Amino acid sequence: MCGIVGIISYKRAPLGRYMIQMLSSLQHRGEDSAGVAMYWDKRHTRENEFIVRMLTKDIIGSAGKISTAIAASGGNIRKIKLYPIGGYSFDRYVVKIPEGNLERLSEEVRNTDVSEVLSIGRWMEIVKDVGWVKNLDNKFDVSNWVSTHGIGHVRFSTESSVDLLHAHPFQSFSYPDMAVVENGQITNYYKVRNILAKKGHKFYTENDAELIVHYVAELIGSGATLDEALSQSVEELDGPFTYIISTANEIGVVRDKLGLRPGVIMESDSINMIASEEATLRLVGIEGTIRNLRPGEVKVWRVN
């Protein structure tokens, strides 16, 4: 049943607070995990520097193995911050590395057997936690994040495992700063996955939301706009779904052609929002025009 939200502002705003408020209002739709992908102001980044979030076993020697893996992929560590979560640490690295080496970085870290890369972004940062939204906020202080746009998710698992690796949002390391959250199911998952795998896309879970981000990344990498990629997904992805996808300067939402999963949007002069339920949009206290997405509709907003 999962709950999804998206928010985009035409100027930097306390979107972390809005995100936590919105996700908390959807907590009844899923208590397995919660996560957000938020985007920082581009002025605060440096060339070829990426924020890398890793889930690492809290054991002696793990930091050394990760440092070696980053160096082997052609990266240099600039900053480190650790977030212990009981036997593991949700580490935050700032790494200088050529963009073309990001997938190799993920593979080198995975091969250490002590860590897994959960997100890489120049402007995007993903944090996740099992359990409730309040746990996510307590650990990462999301309520105090100031951002331009972001997406979020609360999960009720129907298929894959309940852990941080399978929690939303998902991203593709072949296309940095893109993330996705989904409510629903892609019923032709294996057919589409096999096609993408033959084109070189690497899958780390059995979660169909990961399929969506690879699918859209493939189309955009071939020259499609986000609008075009999302419109094509309505025709080629089967099943009941609504998903929200974000890039460095866009948020898009898609509802399946039969309208089997909910999606509600609000548009105003300053902020646009998406959620699984209308009450969630009214909670933030911003006045705007609210309506249901039509079956098969695609909507894309861009940061100015």
Q: How far is residue 24 from each of residues 20, 38, 110, 170, 210, measured CA to CA in Å?
A: 6, 17, 32, 20, 24
Q: Sheet holding 250-255: strands in order across?
A: 170-171, 179-184, 241-246, 250-255, 298-302
Q: Are 95 and 70 in contact (CB under 8 A)?
A: yes
Active site residues: 2
Closest CA to 294 of 267, 260, 269: 260
CA distance 271 to 251: 12
CA distance 117 to 74: 16
Residue ranges of E strands in 101-201: 115-121, 124-130, 147-155, 170-171, 179-184
CA distance 90 to 56: 6
Which residue type does 13 have? A
Structure tokens at 201: 């896309």
CA distance 130 to 40: 24
